[in-house]
């Protein structure tokens, strides 16, 4: 099948399929006599695997490891579990950081009258720097720790 068909079957854009080939995440598809890439069912399954891993937020290098494990019938499931748990921990860390950002924005928005006056605590809070960090964000970091 052509790249457009592979794209439709996997939900991955043609541009990203080409990128995955370029960075070696998938093997370059053989070319037909007319020059079109020719993808088979195995390529589509690999691309679907990649899409699902991306949907779970895995970075490309970890997807490369997951692909190698998936293709290795002698793998240990402990290796896969370890990678998944490490990624889940990273997602949890990022969630905590996002909660801090959300709380800081809500705090600044609560202090803003939202009227016609030019005074804006939101902009003031974004401009306030104390040793590289806004005081409110620093206090939020301490309270979440």
Q: What is the pLDDT of residues 46-100, one digit of tens each?
A: 999 999 999 999 999 999 999 999 999 999 999 999 999 999 999 999 999 999 9
Query: What percent of the chain clears pLDDT 90, i.e. is strictly above it?
Result: 66
The CA-based dihedral angle spanning residues 45, 50, 56, 62, taken in that order and rounded to the nearest 10 degrees:
130
Q: What φ, ψ does residue 31 adopt, rounded to 5°?
A: -105, 140
Give me the CATH code for the 3-71 domain, please.
1.10.1660.10
Count CB atoms within 10 A of the CB of residue 13: 11
Question: What pLDDT does residue 49 have?
Answer: 97
User: Contact, 51 vs 10, CB < 8 A?
Assistant: yes
Going by C-alpha positions, the residue among 123, 125, 119 that lies closest to residue 137 is: 125
The full set of domain ranges for the chain reads 3-71, 93-144
pTM over 0.85: no
Dist CA 59 CA 15 (whole Å): 18
Question: What pLDDT does residue 37 have?
Answer: 86
Question: What pLDDT does residue 136 have?
Answer: 55
Higher pLDDT, 114 or 55: 55
């Amino acid at each position: 099948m052509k790249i457009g068909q592979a794209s439709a079957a996997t939900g991955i854009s043609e541009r990203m399929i080409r990128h995955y080939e370029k960075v070696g995440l998938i093997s370059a598809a053989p070319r037909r006599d007319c020059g079109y890439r020719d993808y088979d069912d195995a390529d589509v399954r690999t691309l679907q695997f990649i899409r699902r891993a991306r949907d779970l937020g895995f970075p490309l290098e970890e997807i490369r490891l997951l692909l190698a494990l998936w293709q290795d019938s002698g793998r240990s499931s402990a290796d896969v579990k370890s990678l998944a748990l490490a990624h889940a921990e990273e997602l949890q860390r990022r969630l905590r950081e996002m909660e801090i950002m959300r709380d800081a924005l809500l705090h600044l928005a609560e202090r803003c009258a939202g009227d016609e006056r030019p005074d804006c605590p939101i902009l003031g809070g974004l401009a306030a720097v104390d040793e590289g960090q806004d005081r409110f964000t620093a206090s939020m970091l301490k309270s979440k720790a």
